[in-house]
């Protein structure tokens, strides 16, 4: 069939090819929102695809609305070597997107009574002894502890190379040598990956299970999510694993492959696909409607000592854009770039996962398209 002969949907004076998945999605969404908003969303994804060769790394994107998947788009390859295309089952490294799952594990233990938000975590984390001060649990969850980010210390170690391996045990040893905070606890927001390494350790010590196993049992298995997992063992096989790349004109392929050199859990470490994340997002919106839920415990305001309430809650940011509530987190490491943004008043989630810097999600543009 000739392209111009394909069935089309008409929204206003804009024609959408109903044989094209993206066009069908835009058509459906146009019935819910304005034509102008959908034109911008179409333009964004069309432009992104246009700059990304189909035989190079790319992205997966999905939109969930009222429990239904309205849109999925997978462009590019999960493995350049094996020519495996990206799909809804492709397991991306989620980077700091993982923090929300770590926070959910911690808050589950809080609800079980294993610890409270105002308890000093030093009782369970002797690695913090040299700081000679208390750290309330909530100060780790919302990045107000003042504990420095371990990455800056890794980078300044003499004799260390960028590709050198590290995991939670190595980072805990590094944290145990720290003795000075960047700010007094609960006085300001200082994003630090060290906080979430410590939280994953806390989960293990309080539950008697690894953070990976606790998340599987408590968060994922009840929802039928079988394949999302923390990668805590560099020798594990992860089905449909995506590899990441960056452009490198000096190489014959035009790309350099990133070889992950860490198995840290808590600050990152989670692998997930759009298929699995869509299941999680259905549950996320169910919990949004239930004010007694674990989600609302994670989103509770946790003021600094001066009464200021930060946007960063427990593993998620809660803010306002274009007059609407927005809940999100993003992540980026080794060429992976991730974004999950929720518009709870519209029961909508937007998922964007990428395996190269050129496909990094533009959150401002995505929100502008969705909300204006």
The CATH class given to the 92-371 domain equals alpha beta
Reduced to 3 states (helix: H, G, I; strand: E, B; else coil), residue 316 is coil
Domains of the chain by residue range:
92-371
Residues 273 and 281: beta-carbon distance below 8 Å: no
The predicted structure's pLDDT at residue 22: 56
Mean of all residue pLDDT scores within the chain: 90
The predicted structure's pLDDT at residue 31: 53
Average pLDDT over residues 308-314: 97
The predicted structure's pLDDT at residue 158: 63
pLDDT band at 364 (very low <50, low <70, confident <90, very high): very high
Please state the pTM of the whole predicted model: 0.90
Residues 197 and 266: beta-carbon distance below 8 Å: yes
The predicted structure's pLDDT at residue 15: 36
Residues 287 and 108: beta-carbon distance below 8 Å: no
Whole-angstrom Cα distance, residue 86 to residue 259?
18
- What does the chain come to in residues? 372
CB burial of 191-222 (b: ≥16 within 10 Å; e: otherwise) equals ebbbbbbbbbbbbbebbeebbbbbbbebbbee
The predicted structure's pLDDT at residue 37: 59
Q: Is the pLDDT of residue 5 over 80?
A: no
Could you report the per-residue pLDDT of 32-72, keeping only the tens digit for each?
A: 544 555 577 778 888 999 999 999 999 999 989 889 888 88
The predicted structure's pLDDT at residue 40: 78
Whole-angstrom Cα distance, residue 92 to residue 12?
38
Could you report the per-residue pLDDT of 225-265, keeping only the tens digit for each?
A: 999 999 999 899 999 999 999 999 999 889 999 988 899 99
Most confident of 19-28, 52-61, 363-372: 52-61
The predicted structure's pLDDT at residue 20: 58
């Amino acid at each position: 069939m000739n392209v111009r002969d394909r069935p089309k949907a008409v929204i206003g004076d804009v024609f959408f090819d109903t044989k094209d998945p993206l066009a069908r999605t835009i058509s459906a969404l146009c019935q819910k929102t304005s034509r102008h908003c959908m034109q911008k969303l179409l333009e964004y994804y069309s432009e992104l695809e246009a700059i990304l060769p189909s035989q190079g790394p790319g992205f997966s994107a999905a939109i969930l609305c009222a429990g239904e998947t309205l849109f999925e788009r997978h462009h590019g390859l999960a493995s350049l070597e094996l020519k495996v295309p990206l799909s809804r089952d492709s397991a991306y490294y989620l980077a700091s997107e993982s923090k929300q799952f770590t926070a959910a594990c911690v808050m589950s233990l809080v609800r079980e009574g294993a610890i409270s938000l105002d308890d000093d975590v030093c009782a369970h984390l002797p690695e913090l002894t040299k700081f000679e001060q208390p750290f309330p649990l909530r100060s780790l969850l919302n990045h107000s502890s003042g504990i420095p980010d371990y990455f800056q210390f890794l980078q300044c170690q003499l004799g260390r190379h960028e590709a050198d391996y590290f995991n939670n045990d190595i980072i805990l040893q590094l944290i145990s040598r720290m003795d000075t905070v960047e700010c007094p606890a609960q006085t300001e927001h200082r994003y630090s990956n060290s906080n979430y390494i410590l939280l994953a350790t806390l989960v293990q010590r309080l539950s008697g299970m690894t953070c990976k196993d606790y998340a599987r049992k408590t968060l994922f298995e009840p929802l039928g999510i079988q394949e999302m997992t923390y990668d805590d063992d560099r020798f594990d096989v992860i089905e449909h694993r995506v590899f990441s790349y960056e452009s490198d004109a000096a190489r014959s392929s035009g790309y350099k492959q990133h070889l992950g050199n860490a198995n840290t859990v808590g600050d990152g470490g989670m692998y997930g696909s759009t298929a699995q994340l869509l299941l999680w997002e259905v549950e996320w919106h169910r919990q949004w409607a239930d004010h007694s839920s674990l989600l609302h415990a994670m989103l509770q305001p946790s003021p600094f000592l001066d009464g200021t309430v930060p946007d960063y809650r427990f593993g998620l940011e809660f803010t306002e854009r274009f007059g609407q509530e927005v809940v999100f987190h993003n992540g980026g490491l080794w060429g992976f770039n991730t974004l999950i943004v929720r518009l709870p008043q519209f029961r909508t989630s937007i998922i964007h996962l990428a395996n190269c810097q050129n496909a990094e999600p533009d959150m401002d543009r995505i929100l502008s398209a969705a909300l204006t």
